[in-house]
Structure 1
Amino acid sequence: MDVAVEQRTQLVRLGVRTTSPDLSLAVVERALQLVSEFNQDQRQSQSAQERRFLGSRLGDAKQELREAEDSVARFLEQNRDFRNSPPLLFQYERLQREMTLRQTLYATLSQNFEQSRIEEVRDTPVLTVVESPQLPVRPDSRHLFFKLLLALVGGALVGVVGAFATDALLRQAPEEAAGLADFQRLWGEFRREVWRPWRLLGIGRA
């Protein structure tokens, strides 16, 4: 199994070589499935941890916001004419800023908490397959030498058989020897194809 990462595009290329093309394709498809399931499980597990943390922090933030609001309410009840007093006005603005900060924090935590709940149950694919696995157009070059050798040996055996067949035809009666010329012509064409093994293997010659 070969895995390569393109630095420029951040794409991951996966290749598998086995004794069977169909097996290689099945291995790649299964590997993509397992990686996708692992990433999805990891994402859902991380979202669950975030949800638990945010849920706990959200409760604290809600309590802190309530305390800040109560502080502002008590101040207003006790100081109805605070705007004519600079110290009281300063104290009010400080309490107001604290309440605004607690409101913002609570709103942010609440939004993140709801988002983590959604991510925890989301089952959309986390991997995007740019190019689906497919079988190679040409055979593996590592096995090409053995195929060529097999074709050459087969061609030699065909040549020997052809020689014996020609000799047998020459021994036939004169009236049967008329077909010898056609046999030799067809046999010669067949031998030329045999000694070009790249054609038999479907390989173009440069």
Structure 2
Amino acid sequence: MEIPMTIVGAACGAAWRRRRFLALLTGGSTVLAVVAALLIPPLYRASVLLVPNQTGSSLSAALGDLTGLAGQFGISTGGEDPSRLFPEILQSRSLTHAILRSKVTASDSTSAVYLDWLGVDGATEAQRLEKGTKLFQMARSRVVLNPKNSSVKVVVFDRDPLVAAGIANRMASELDRLNQEIGRKNAREKRVFIEERRREVLRQLEADEEELTSFRVKNRNYIGSPQLVLEFERISRRVRLDEELALTLARELEIARIDEYKDVPVINVLDRALAPAERHSPRRAMIVIATFTISLLVGLALVLAWDGRRQFWSSFTAPGTTGMGR
């Protein structure tokens, strides 16, 4: 009894018969992959690790400024940890535009505006910024939040290692700058409000003191009248409340003045970006191996399909068989 040929045997037989075709296909594809891998410009990867500031009481004030900063970008905190807003702010249009307008210095000491360095063209500056924003956010940067410790990793890709590291560090600096700017603005608005409120309280205190003085002049013997005593206590109580409120506002005003010029960092840079020594992509060996494997599999599939088709049609033309249409 004749043992039928297995699928593996059939595949090996077909591959051997078409070995020249397979060699040309896999060899040609591999050579093209090598050339393409060598022509693809390298990209370098630099990253900076940011963590929320953990300096006790400063943290609540700093994160409060961050919440205000998020409001400037139209981002709702939803009552969550404000440090989780880092990715949204780092990928905001305002911060990205500031990065694109900044200057970069390459490894060969050449300098250029980052938007020009990316080679973004456009009829107007607005169009260039729009294209540059999409390119930077989609292909040249990535922001990853670690929900366990609220740390954020900012990753930047560029054809020059020094530029990649510089942009990553600049994103961290820009986040801190924006926070300080909004924090000072909030502190200034708070100071103005407290100053106005304190002036109102001082005017009210002055009026109440004048009323108390007038009462004493008009009613020198008010002790003998329960009604006058009650009126005296009422006016005196208003004066004491005004004094306490004025004193509290004076303290708050000093704090607001200090906060207006105080730098409270929201973030700590745990790991600054360094210029990478090795490229991140392309992974040339992987490209060549993957191309060789895929081309070999495609070639085998074509050979098997070709061989199967030949056997199918030969069965209709073999002696002693009845073909279609007969």
1:98 aligns with 2:263: no
Q: Assess, with a 3 A threshold, how the Cα gap between structure 1 residues 100 and 30 changes in structure 2: closer, same or farther.
A: same
Q: Any idea what the Cα deviations from partners look like across 1:164-202, whole Å, max 9, x if unmatched? A: xxxxxxxxxxxxxxxxxxxxxxxxxxxxxxxxxxxxxxx
Q: Assess, with a 3 A threshold, how the Cα gap between structure 1 residues 85 and 12 changes in structure 2: closer, same or farther.
A: farther
Contact 1:36 1:125 in 2 (8 A): no
Q: Assess, with a 3 A threshold, how the Cα gap between structure 1 residues 8 and 87 changes in structure 2: closer, same or farther.
A: farther
For structure 1, which runs of at least 5 residues remain unmatched after alignment? Answer: 152-206
Q: Any idea what the Cα deviations from partners look like across 1:133-189, whole Å, max 9, x if unmatched? A: 24579864x644x234569xxxxxxxxxxxxxxxxxxxxxxxxxxxxxxxxxxxxxx
Select the residue among 3, 11, 15 that pairs with 2:155.
15
* Residue of structure 1 equivalent to 2:210: 70
* Residue of structure 2 equivalent to 1:56: 196
Q: Any idea what the Cα deviations from partners look like across 1:57-101, whole Å, max 9, x if unmatched? A: 222211111111122222222223333322122212211221111
* Residue of structure 2 equivalent to 1:127: 266
Q: Assess, with a 3 A threshold, how the Cα gap between structure 1 residues 125 and 57 changes in structure 2: closer, same or farther.
A: closer
Higher relative helix content: 1
Select the residue among 211, 216, 219 that pairs with 1:79.
219
* Residue of structure 1 equivalent to 2:323: none
Q: Assess, with a 3 A threshold, how the Cα gap between structure 1 residues 8 and 91 changes in structure 2: closer, same or farther.
A: farther
Distance 1:137 1:86 in 2: 90
For structure 2, which runs of at least 5 residues remain unmatched after alignment? Answer: 1-140, 290-326
- How far is the alpha carbon of 1:108 from its aligned partner? 2.0
Two-structure CA RMSD over aligned residues (Å): 3.0
Q: How does 1:124-203 map to 2 (within 5 A)?
A: 124-135=263-274, 140=280, 143-144=282-283, 146-148=284-286
Select the residue among 142, 150, 164 that pairs with 1:2.
142
Q: How does 1:28-67 map to 2 (within 5 A)?
A: 28-67=168-207
Q: Any idea what the Cα deviations from partners look like across 1:17-56, whole Å, max 9, x if unmatched? A: 3344433221111111111111111111222222222222
Q: Percent of counterpart pairs with the same letter? A: 22
Contact 2:176 2:267 in 1 (8 A): no
2:230 maps to a residue whose letter is: F
Distance 1:14 1:81 in 2: 77
Q: Select between 34-43 and 52-61 the one with higher mean Cα deviation.
A: 52-61
Identify which of structures 1 and 2 has the higher relative contact order when contacts are C-alpha pairs closer than 8 Å and 6+ apart: 2
**TM-score, length-normalised on structure 1?**
0.60
SS of 2:144's partner is strand
Q: Assess, with a 3 A threshold, how the Cα gap between structure 1 residues 125 and 53 changes in structure 2: closer, same or farther.
A: closer
SS of 1:126's partner is coil
**TM-score, length-normalised on structure 2?**
0.40
Q: How does 1:103-122 map to 2 (within 5 A)?
A: 103-122=243-262
Q: Any idea what the Cα deviations from partners look like across 1:4-28, whole Å, max 9, x if unmatched? A: 3444544333222334443322111
Paired residues, what number? 150
SS of 1:80's partner is coil
Q: Assess, with a 3 A threshold, how the Cα gap between structure 1 residues 4 and 94 changes in structure 2: closer, same or farther.
A: farther
Which has the larger Rg?
Answer: 1
